[in-house]
Amino acid sequence: MVARAVLNGFRLWPRTLRVRLFVILLAGLALAHAMSFTVLFFERYMAARSVMFNTLENDVATSIAILDRLPAAERADWLDRLDRGSYSFILGRGMPGDPALDSRSAEIASKIQATIGARYPIEVESIPGESRRLQAHLRLSDGAPLTIDVKPRGVMPLADWLPYVLVAQLGLLVLCCWFAVRQAIRPLVNLATAADTLDPNRQTPRLSEAGPSEVAYAATAFNAMRDRIAQYLEERVQILAAISHDLQTPITRMKLRTEMAEDFIERDKLMQDLGEIERLVKEGVDYAKSAHGKVEKASRIDLASFTESLAYDYQDTGKAVTITEVTGGTILTRPHALRRILTNLIDNALKFGGSAEIEMQRLADETVVIKVLDRGPGIPENQLEAVLKPFYRLEQSRNRDTGGTGLGLAIAQQLATAIGASLTLRNRDGGGLAAEIAIHP
């Protein structure tokens, strides 16, 4: 039961750090504010109590002495003058009461008795139905009855403007808590956004290193980490390019020696294996170069002419590549990288679908979407993202003609990132694959 209550408490606890800090700060400040108000209220109560007792001690005896020395006909005119709010005088017996007194009433009665002294014997009674109302009965020197009507005040009355001040203070607390939480959370949000959009292949803005020392230190460390990651990736690509390039020479020598050698049973198989190795090395070099697609200078091209030229090149070699929809206009991009992307996608469509269709659309926000469509077997939904990784092949056979090297789509993906575009794969209704390139303005 205890564990269940704890879990229920955690469910009610806000999930975001922003709300948690806001609740903690506001609750703490509001509690401190309430404690301050309670202390002030108690202090006012004690002050009112002290004032009342001091008044009873100092003024009651004097007031009784004045009434005792006045002629009986003039005493009624002095009653209003002697009224002190917390007590007043009544000529007569007053109201019938109860001799039983609570602790506070007994304390007030003792103060009155000590103030008046033994000259005027008194009887103190609590008035039924009235909250803490007392009446002290005595007789003056001429035997006339006199009643002291005591109405103790709890605290001094509060000012009319005090509730508005309390509301204004509460609003100020909320505003200060919100501002403090915003100042504390904003660097964390910026850091999370920068980490989420971290891509060494893109020229994204560096994280600002301004602000408090702790924030500046975290931003500096993040930027340094980003630079190290970019350097490591650059070194990896350079190593891959160097190895692939250096392998071309011995592979070429092996092919020449095999061709010049006498015929033997395994010669054709050896030549085929060397050809596959050479193609893998070539695609490895291409993949390494694709990481540097951003070094190509951007230029403005005509979309219709660019797409038709690419399709006609395939048609001249007898490939079934058609254009079903093309939107005119120009776009600023890196043409060689874009051509390589489309070539890889078209080759992939021809390989698995036997034909390829090209569609091009310009959206309302000037984003250009180029689609390469085929009617091949498609890709399982759970592997649509995996096929964009290098050396990933759906067909796991050792035959390069059917399985490929697993670099075609990876090169297209990397080049798309380099030119500021995005590559998305999805299965078509009725079978086949649609590869979409979105080039943002």
Mean pLDDT across 37-46 = 76
- Is position 393 within any domain? yes
Distance CA 249, CA 251 (A): 5
SS3 call for 40: helix
Q: Are residues 377 and 277 both part of a single domain?
A: no
Alpha-carbon gap, residue 48 to 39, rounded angstroms? 14
CB-based contact 422:294 (threshold 8 Å) = no
Same domain, 68 and 172: yes
The answer as to whether 74 is a domain residue is yes
Q: Which residues contact 412 (CB under 8 A, 6 or more apart)?
A: 340, 341, 344, 345, 388, 423, 435
Task: Give the mean pLDDT of the chain.
Answer: 77
Give the pairing of strands 123-126 and 145-150: unpaired
In a 10 Å sphere around its CB, with 0-12 CB exposed, 13-18 middle and 19+ buried, how is residue 126 labelled?
A: buried
At residue 287 the predicted structure's pLDDT band, cuts being 50, 70 and 90, is low
Q: What is the predicted pLDDT for the residue at 307?
A: 86
Are 233 and 273 found together in one domain? yes
Establish if 4 belongs to a structural domain.
Answer: no
Residue 406: its pLDDT value, please?
65
Q: Is residue 397 in some structural domain?
A: yes
Residue 1 within any structural domain of the chain: no
Structure confidence by residue, pLDDT tens digits, 58-98:
677 788 888 888 888 888 888 888 887 777 888 888 777 77
| Predicted pLDDT at 295 | 59
DSSP 354-379: S-EEEEEEE-TTS-EEEEEE--S---
Spatial CA neighbour of 233 closest among 322, 146, 294: 294
Residue 100 pLDDT > 70, yes or no? Answer: no
**103-143 pLDDT, tens per residue?**
767 777 777 777 777 677 877 777 776 566 778 888 888 88
Instruction: Indicate whether 75 and 155 sit together in one domain.
Output: yes
Please count the structural domains in the chain: 3
Full-model pTM: 0.48
Could you tell me the residue range of the domain that residue 37 belongs to?
Answer: 12-194
205 and 299 co-located in one domain: no
pLDDT at 372 over 80: yes
Output the pLDDT for position 146.
85
| The pLDDT of residue 77 | 85
Domain boundary among 153, 175, 194: 194
| pLDDT score at 203 | 66
pLDDT band at residue 213 using 50, 70 and 90 as cut-offs: confident
318 & 285 share domain = no
Specify the range with the lowest mean pLDDT, choosing from 50-64, 85-99, 138-152, 419-433.
Answer: 50-64
Domain boundary among 291, 310, 326: 291
Instruction: For residue 133, give Cα distances in angstroms to 99, 175, 332.
Output: 12, 46, 92
Q: Tell me the average pLDDT across 353-377.
A: 87
**What average pLDDT score do residues 162-190 get?**
81
- Provide mean pLDDT across the span 392-399: 54
Let me know if residue 271 belongs to a domain.
yes
Across the range 224-245, mean pLDDT stands at 76
The helix/strand/coil state of 308 is: helix
Q: Please choose, from the candidates 176, 185, 198, 248, the residue with its C-alpha nearest in 3D space to the C-alpha of residue 32.
A: 176
Of 191-205, 329-343, 385-399, highest mean pLDDT = 329-343
Please tell me which residue, 9 or 72, carries the higher pLDDT value. Answer: 72
DSSP 135-168: EEEEE-TTS-EEEEEE---SSPPPPTTHHHHHHH
375 alpha-carbon distance from chain centroid? 44
Structure-block tokens of residue 110? 């003792």
CATH of the domain at 371: 3.30.565.10
Do 317 and 218 fall within a single domain? no
Above pLDDT 70, what percent of the chain?
A: 80
Mean pLDDT of 382-391: 80
Residue 224 to residue 207: CA distance in whole angstroms: 10
Residues 65 and 129 in one domain: yes
Indicate if the alpha-carbon torsion angle 90, 91, 94, 98 is positive or negative: positive
pLDDT at residue 222 above 80?
A: yes
Ranges of beta strands (E only) in 29-160 are: 87-91, 123-126, 134-139, 145-150
Q: Model confidence over 310-319: pLDDT tens digits?
A: 888 888 888 8
Q: Which residues, 6 or more positions from 42, have their beta carbon under 8 angstroms from its beta carbon?
A: none
**pLDDT-based confidence at 31, cuts 50/70/90?**
confident
CATH number of the domain encompassing residue 186:
3.30.450.300
Dist CA 121 CA 257 (whole Å): 139
Sign of CA dihedral 421, 422, 427, 430: negative
Last residue of a domain, one of 128, 161, 194: 194
Domain match, 275 and 303 both: no
404 and 287: one domain? no
Average pLDDT over residues 2-28: 66
Nearest residue to 56 (alpha-carbon basis) of 108, 121, 103, 117: 108
Q: Are 251 and 189 members of one domain?
A: no
One domain, residues 133 and 94: yes
**Token digits for 72?**
């009986």
